Structure 1
């Protein structure tokens, strides 16, 4: 099942993580969306999380509830090949501990201006792959309409 990874395009750590993910996601299971772009905002709204969450956390949405912080990282690990899939074992650590570490790292993350805040700045050797994996609003609509999708509650 495909999922959309929503990230802060102005965050150097987030951009680096997306670069890392694209290099390892050989099967193309993950699309990417900057939180400032229309697809990212649409996915965040559809997930029920709201658009502000991606300023402090990476988000993964696969048509159901959005996952944040280390739950998002575990969901990503589940979709990657070995040895990265082994990171699913993080689930055995209590969420309050693993998210506490995540939050400490997030507070110290480097911020940088992005040319396009909707999608960050891809490294030169990844431009074509990065662009091919950018989610569209049509991708968001397709995930939202898949069987088993429960619309996010409106607040």
Structure 2
């Protein structure tokens, strides 16, 4: 395990001015979402790390995310804040810009309701979309997008 200072230094050197998306690396739905985000990230805003990886676990501990909550997407904006579940999805949409920023209209609904729907999908994601045996390995072209 890295120390808090080592994580801070790593993030400062590796993910400068980038937002980090922590995702379920074995979930087919999550991997599809990552591929979608990469394709539409025209401003090169995001970097990705699987929640199951050592670095993913260390970042979660570093930002204070309860390890029991790592069943969800987390958007971490280093030095600013982190977003979890439905709010992470809406923030990612805003950062992608264009038509995807319209997703922020869903912020009019209470977070509890949005997260109820999010949790329902998350609970069934393996049954509906399947699960990989291990985390995806990025292609050489995509390696720079992953921490």
Q: TM-score range by the shorter chain?
A: 0.7 to 0.9
Aligned to 2:146: 134
Aligned to 1:44: 60
Normalization by structure 1: what TM-score? 0.74
SS at match of 2:140: helix
Verify the 8 A CA contact 1:22 1:129 in the aligned structure 2: no
Normalization by structure 2: what TM-score? 0.78
Aligned to 2:9: none
Verify the 8 A CA contact 1:9 1:121 in the aligned structure 2: no
Verify the 8 A CA contact 1:44 1:66 in the aligned structure 2: no
- State the shift of 1:29 in Å: 0.2
Residues in 1 aligned to 2:38 and 2:133: alpha-carbon distance in whole angstroms: 18
Quick one: higher RCO (CA 8 Å, sep 6+), 1 or 2?
Answer: 1
Bigger helix fraction: 2
Aligned residues: 127
**Aligned-CA RMSD value:** 1.7
Aligned to 1:58: 73
Unaligned runs of 5+ in 1: 136-155
Q: Which runs of 4+ in 1 moved over 3 A?
A: none
Aligned to 1:112: 131
Unaligned runs of 5+ in 2: 1-16
